[in-house]
Structure 1
Amino acid sequence: MRWLALCCPPDAPAGDRDALAWLALGFTPRVARLEEAVVAEVSASLRLFRGARALRQRLQHEAAQAGLALGAVAWAPTALAALALARCPQPPCAGPPGARLDALPLPALTAARAHHAMLARLGCTRLGELRRLPRAALARRFGPALLAALDQAYGERPEAHDWLTLPERFDARLELPWRVAHAPVLLHFAEALLRQLCAFLAARQAGVRALRLAWRHDAMRPRDAADGGELTVATADTTRDLRRLSRLLGEHLARTPLAAPAGEIRVSADTLLPLAAPSASLLPGGHEPQERSACHALLERLSVRLGAGQVREGRLHEDHRLEHMQRWQAWPAPPAPAAAVRRPPGPQPTWLVEPPQPLRCDAREQPLLAGPLVRVSGPHRVEAGWWDGGAHMRDYFVYRSATRGLLWLYRERLPADAAGWFLHGVFA
């Protein structure tokens, strides 16, 4: 058997150990909590991850992506031995496993730590020296638990563990160490729960498009204040990027008032969506998913800062009238229907001019706008509107202006009293 012991740094939040355990479940189903560490039996996973070194590097990479700091990491044939090696700042690196354990100090084993003072007076300071003492006398003097722990560490007695399992949904709470009166301060404590969420999603090979942050007001709240509040953070695509979720949550909290000081927060995610790890590409241009995700992250923050509906995106719409082939909706818009939408016959302007602006003409009946215009493409004739009483016949063109850029113009043919040139759109 091959056991891996994972320890969090001494100053890490208490929830980081749970996050580390969930992260380890993405590498092996045999994961358990053992005192202050997380132990994982990975002998069946070594071939899948191409060896112990590659598995450790992959685990460290996944932990960094989830915002988790790894402390000591140690390998051993048993879980107790791996924990004992991880507890020592400079464990012996050479020799068989038994010899490495023999060289460890007594406090490396929890069962021997309680008797350290007495054993030190006997001249016993290492696990190897403790193991060489007479077993019967050692059991009478210090109890059978010490011998049992020694045998389990050296692999002479089987170990029993309660294996961890992943819950179906994520729901974690945190009691705040003090009363928080301003919502942006909640982000500092919510990041600990977000790290747990990202580790949970990594083990599930999943992501989220929405998460919920709820808080409860403390007992000293005003009478007119509710028990708590909540907000929902939505993303444009499926993600488990800790930095992206944290920055987006911070944008929401910066604009959220608290009716009373908060004493507890909770982060939950009910709907999990499949999210495979991005695959590397040997060909140029393989970074399109990462670039799209970065663009979505920027648009998410802008939509929170500017307000709902201020960030918009264009969607093609089935209509043969050119000005109705594109509709702008609040971003992110709902998914487009599966049915194919006919593409417009030419470029669509970024902005429509409503109502269309009439233009002057020169002696040759050519449009003018801040000077002469140069035709780029056209005409494209459209005859429509008879069903709603607005029948017209238009010839659409793309013109270039030296001062205004690309313009979308049309020449009205029908009705006769409205004939002329009009500015109908502007290309960004």
Structure 2
Amino acid sequence: MLGHWAALLPLPQSAFPHPIDAGSLGTWALQFTPRVALLEDAVVAEMAASARLYGGLDALRALVEAGCRDLGARIAWAPTGLAALALVRHATDPLAADGFHTPIAQLLDRLPLGALSAVAAHQSTLARVGCRTLGDVRLLPRGGLGRRFDKALLNALDQAYGLRPEAYEWIALPETFHARLELMARVETAPALLFGARRLLVQMAGWLVARRLGATAFTLRWCHDVMRAKDAGTGGELTVRTAQPTQNIEHFARLLSEHLAKVQLQAPAGDIELLASEVAPIVEESRSLLQDTLRQGVETEFALERIQARLGNDCVRRPILQEDHRLEWMQGWTSEPVKRRKGGEPVHALPLPTWVLDEPLRLMERDNRPYYQGPLRLLLGPDRVEGGWWHRTGEGDDARTLNVQRDYWLALSAHAGVLWVFQQRLAGDQTAWFLHGHFA
């Protein structure tokens, strides 16, 4: 029932220019976790499941808090959603907004009755019996509270204190991005629109991250103030294109600034809106131990050469594909530099498994049918592999030839999934079944 919840509350216009609404704030929060809900005038989000993706809860919290500062929202953290909402409404400093530095019951007990809406609905009645804080309400007899007030009061208290599970309706991510912002004052020059537009760019970047997309074009529109000349028109727009799909806010702002510098407004603008005109899937690359500048071309080879020179040749190895049809010896490792291969590569009629066993596992047979966690159904095959008569291991009496004669099959197990099995050809036409690999 306890988790790591964040409550995000939009600041009023008097405290922050260009305030954001709760719906837009919830859409932005979806980039961090799919468990986001609108709760009264705020947004609550459960972040614990996403912590590993961002390198831990501390890194995730720092990222969310930085975004809230850009968007103009207060944030509080607590083990439950309702507790986080109560703290974000009444916490007076960042330490008080952190529901993890002190037991949550102690923090909630100090809050006024208005911290929880279900309790605030009966504030006048509770005040007459001497209740001023949530802790005072909890000291009242539970049976009397249940008879005198509705069930919502006790449910809210139990959920806030983590005694009862919470249930929310998670918001859905919109298919397209379109956000509007009413400016606090009339803007007479196009470059001045960037201040408000950046708020929309932050929201668009959050939507792109949640959708795993990158923008290749976005459109900024502005509406002229009603007190405009007749020939000025209702507004204008410009479309900014990027060379490749991106989610970078600074990149968006830099390009938009360059375009706005060339625009002359026909009349003062009163509000703006931003649209993600064209989007494309973002291509994510695996992180490398080498610097990005060393990942391609000759520089990578130079870096590996320096590592070998300092640590020894055996410390840097690379996989190579051997010209061998036997699965155990098809891949090898070498510390030699990369050389262009000559000749063809081993070709199999069947797809090769994702994981290969170090030693083939002999399978049980029933009615000439292989068994592995139940009977196996042969899907494709056979793919015959013969060879290795030249391959010897050991010396003297321990020497043996690694010759194989196998018929490989693609088999399906009801419990283990798709398997790579083979039938070993033995002397006297006897056969035996072996498991050699698994598929992802």
Common fold, TM-score beyond 0.5? yes
Code of the aligned partner of 1:14 = P
The reply on whether 1:22 has 2:27 as its aligned counterpart is: yes
Q: Distance in 1 between matches of 2:116 and 2:285?
A: 41
- Cα distance in 1 between the residues matched to 2:295 and 2:43: 37
Q: Is the Cα–Cα contact under 8 Å of residues 37 and 83 in structure 1 kept in the other structure?
A: yes
1:80 alignment counterpart: 82
Question: Counterpart of 2:289?
Answer: 282
Contact 2:187-2:270 within 8 A present in 1 as well? yes
Establish whether residue 39 from structure 1 lines up as the match of residue 44 from structure 2: yes
Q: Does 1:226 align with 2:228?
A: no
Find out whether 1:272 has 2:279 as its counterpart.
yes
How far is the alpha carbon of 1:216 from its aligned partner? Answer: 2.3
1:125 and 1:3 map into 2 onto residues whose CA distance is 28
1:202 aligns with 2:182: no
Go from structure 1 to structure 2 and tell me whether the alpha carbon gap of 1:51 and 1:194 turns closer, same or farther (over 3 Å shift): closer
Tell me the CA shift for residue 211 of structure 1: 0.8
- Which residue does 2:412 correspond to in 1? none
Query: Quick one: structure 1 residues 105 and 232, their matched pair in 2 at CA, closer, same or farther if it must change by over 3 Å?
Result: same
Q: Deviations over 1:34-72 (max 9, x none)?
A: 2343212245445555654454345457x38x9446643
Q: Secondary structure at the match of 1:224?
A: helix
1:83-133 deviation per Cα after TM superposition (whole angstroms, max 9, x unaligned):
223442326655654454334443432333455566456443332221121
> Residues 242, 172 of structure 1: CA spacing in aligned structure 2 closer, same or farther, 3 A cutoff?
same
**How many angstroms does 1:155 deviate by?**
4.0
Structure 2: how far apart are the matches of 1:245 and 1:49? 23
Query: Residue 27 of structure 1 aligns to which amino acid in structure 2?
Result: F
Contact 1:15 1:196 in 2 (8 A): no
Q: What is the percentage of aligned positions where both structures have the same residue? A: 48
SS of aligned partner of 2:231: coil
Change (3 A) 1:75 1:257: same
Q: CA separation in 1, counterparts of 2:195 and 2:295?
A: 32
Alignment match, 2:398: none
Q: How far is the alpha carbon of 1:231 from its aligned partner?
A: 0.9
Q: Is the 2:221–2:274 Cα contact (8 Å) retained in structure 1?
A: yes
d(CA) in 2 for partners of 1:205, 1:139: 47
SS at match of 2:266: coil
Query: Residues 8 and 16 of structure 1 are in contact (CA less than 8 Å); yes or no, is this contact kept in structure 2?
Result: no
1:252-275 Cα offsets, whole Å, 9 max, x none, are 222212223333321101321222
Please give the secondary structure, in 1, of the residue aligned with 2:26: helix
Residues in 2 aligned to 1:272 and 1:111: alpha-carbon distance in whole angstroms? 43
Alignment of 1:287-366 (within 5 A): none
Aligned partner of 1:166 in structure 2 is: 173
2:190 to 159, 166, 183: 183
Letter in 1 for 2:27: W
RMSD, aligned CA: 3.5
Is 2:258 the counterpart of 1:256?
no
What do the CA deviations read for 1:112-163 (whole angstroms, capped 9, x no partner)?
A: 3455566456443332221121346546766554333223323455544231
Structure 1 residues 284 and 265 mapped into 2: Cα distance closer, same or farther (>3 Å)?
closer
Distance 1:187 1:22 in 2: 22
Q: TM-score, normalised by structure 2?
A: 0.55
Give deviations 1:351-383, integer Å, cap 9, x for gaps.
xxxxxxxxxxxxxxxxxxxxxxxxxxxxxxxxx
Q: CA 1:177/1:56 → structure 2, altered by over 3 Å: closer, same or farther?
A: closer
Distance 1:286 1:180, change over 3 A: same
Q: How does 1:385-396 map to 2 (within 5 A)?
A: none
Partner amino acid, structure 2, of 1:252: H
Q: Matched residue of 1:272: which SS?
A: strand
Superposed displacement of residue 276, structure 1: 4.8
Report the residue type matching 1:81 in the other structure.
A
Helix, strand or coil: the match of 1:270? strand
Gaps of 5+ in 2: 297-440
The letter for the 2-side match of 1:283 is L
Deviates more, 1:8-17 or 1:144-153: 8-17
Instruction: Give 1:103-182 correspondences, 5 Å limit.
Output: 103-113=110-120, 116=123, 119-120=126-127, 122-135=129-142, 137-138=144-145, 144-182=151-189
List per-residue Cα deviations over 1:208-244 (Å, max 9, x = no partner). 1211111223334333333322111122232222222
Structure 1, unaligned runs of 5 or more: 290-428
